[in-house]
């Protein structure tokens, strides 16, 4: 009897582990746009950091990111799903609006000519390396909190009907996988120039590869930043479209039967995110202008 019970228990554990692995893979695919932006934001925060401090900075942000997910966000999301499951969609909508706002702001920032006074914001610069590094780490962890909240909220949206044990397993597996994956890739990206320099100077027959990496690395970092911004708008727009009753089906109906249907759907989500983000920026600007007039 004991052996039969043990076998049944092990079978249940294996079944739960299989469900967790499958659902985690689905959630990771759903969150891929946010993950790309998370990598871009973190890589940008390493710009200006001394070479020997780049990996310690990435590790510090990774620790903060895991704390955000495992200690703050995952328990809060699970508790919220148990007490008020109806609130998940509004929270996702708020997150989608934030992503659309952030993405649109980056696009407008690129389109606007620089002011000249833009850099004079009173924040520490690279001449004060300790304060500069602390500021970068703090900013990256703060941004990660929002992006991680979106990742786990999307994950919860995929698994909210699953048993509690499976929900916990998926949420914490996502926390580990996303933290290790994102910051492992970021660490590799920011050390590409070191690898290129090493190969170019000591690689002998592979010196050509080192020179290629040194030329290619800045382009890659810029491409990741652009892809990250586009991903914010696609994910934000997709969340908003799915959250508005009937909107997703209406877009699907319009695009149904057209060539490259999948690509057009992504484009529709991108434009929805951009439109929503610009609208939010305009609304905030109007609110600030009204507030300034009232104060006079």
The model's pLDDT over 41-88, given as tens digits with 9 standing for 90+, comes to 666 666 666 777 778 888 888 898 899 888 988 898 888 888 887 877
How far is Cα 5 from Cα 11, in angstroms, rounded to an integer? 10
At residue 63, the 3 state secondary structure works out as helix
| Domain boundaries, given as residue ranges, for the chain | 16-295
Name the band, by pLDDT with cuts 50, 70 and 90, for residue 113. low
- What does the pLDDT average to over 153-168? 80
Name the band, by pLDDT with cuts 50, 70 and 90, for residue 19. low
Q: Which of 189, 158, 148, 167 is nearest to 35 (CA)?
A: 148
Contact call for residues 185 and 42 (beta carbons, < 8 A): no
**Cα–Cα separations (whole angstroms), residue 177 to 25, 133, 136:** 10, 26, 23
Top-confidence range, 116-125, 128-137, 174-183, 226-235: 174-183
pLDDT at residue 191, as a whole number: 82
Q: Please, what is the average pLDDT of the chain?
A: 78
Share of the chain residues as helix, strand and coil, in percent rounded to the nearest 5: 85, 0, 15
Q: Which of 94, 252, 75, 293 is nearest to 171 (CA)?
A: 75
Q: How many residues does the chain have?
A: 296
φ, ψ dihedrals at 183, nearest 5°: -80, -25
Top pLDDT among 58 and 25 is at 58
- What does the pLDDT average to over 3-8? 53
For residue 114, pLDDT over 60 is answered with: no
For residue 115, pLDDT over 60 is answered with: no
- What does the pLDDT average to over 157-167? 80
The model's pLDDT over 255-295, given as tens digits with 9 standing for 90+, comes to 777 777 778 888 888 898 899 999 999 999 888 888 888 88
Looking at the chain, the whole-number percentage of residues with pLDDT higher than 90 is 4
pLDDT at residue 281, as a whole number: 92
- What does the pLDDT average to over 9-16? 57
Contact call for residues 183 and 61 (beta carbons, < 8 A): yes
pLDDT at residue 4, as a whole number: 58
**Cα–Cα separations (whole angstroms), residue 113 to 13, 109, 116, 275:** 58, 8, 9, 21
pLDDT at residue 3, as a whole number: 52
pLDDT at residue 98, as a whole number: 83
- What does the pLDDT average to over 151-160? 79
- Specify the range with the lowest mean pLDDT, choosing from 27-36, 98-107, 213-222, 258-267: 27-36
pLDDT at residue 178, as a whole number: 85
DSSP class per residue in 173-229: HHHHHHHHHHHHHHHHHHTHHHHHHHHHHH-GGGHHHHHHHHHHHHHHHHHHHHHHH
- What does the pLDDT average to over 155-177? 83
């Amino acid at each position: 009897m004991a052996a039969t019970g043990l076998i049944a228990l092990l079978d249940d554990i294996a079944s739960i582990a299989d469900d967790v692995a499958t659902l985690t893979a689905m959630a990771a695919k759903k969150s891929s746009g946010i993950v790309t932006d998370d990598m871009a934001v973190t890589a940008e925060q390493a710009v200006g950091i001394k070479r020997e401090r780049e990996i310690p900075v990435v590790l510090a942000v990774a620790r903060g990111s895991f704390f955000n997910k495992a200690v703050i966000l995952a328990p809060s999301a699970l508790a919220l799903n148990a007490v008020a499951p109806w609130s998940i969609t509004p929270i996702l909508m708020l997150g989608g609006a934030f992503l659309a706002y952030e993405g649109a702001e980056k696009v407008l920032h690129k389109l606007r000519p620089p002011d000249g006074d833009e850099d004079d914001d009173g924040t520490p610069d690279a001449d004060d390396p300790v304060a500069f590094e602390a500021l970068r780490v703090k900013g990256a962890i703060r941004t990660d909190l929002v992006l991680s909240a979106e990742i786990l909220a999307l994950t919860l949206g995929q698994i909210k009907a699953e048993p509690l044990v499976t929900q916990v397993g998926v949420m914490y597996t996502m926390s580990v996988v996303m933290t290790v994956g994102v910051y492992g890739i970021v660490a590799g990206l920011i050390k590409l120039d070191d690898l290129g320099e090493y190969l170019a100077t000591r690689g002998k027959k592979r010196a050509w590869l080192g020179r290629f990496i040194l030329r290619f690395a800045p382009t890659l970092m810029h491409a990741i930043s652009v892809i990250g911004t586009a991903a914010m708008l696609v994910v934000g727009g997709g969340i908003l479209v799915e959250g508005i009753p009937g909107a997703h089906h209406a877009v699907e109906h319009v695009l149904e039967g057209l060539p490259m249907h999948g690509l057009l759907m992504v484009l529709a989500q991108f434009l929805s995110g951009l439109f929503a983000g610009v609208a939010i920026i305009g609304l905030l600007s109007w609110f600030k202008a009204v507030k300034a007039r009232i104060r006079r």
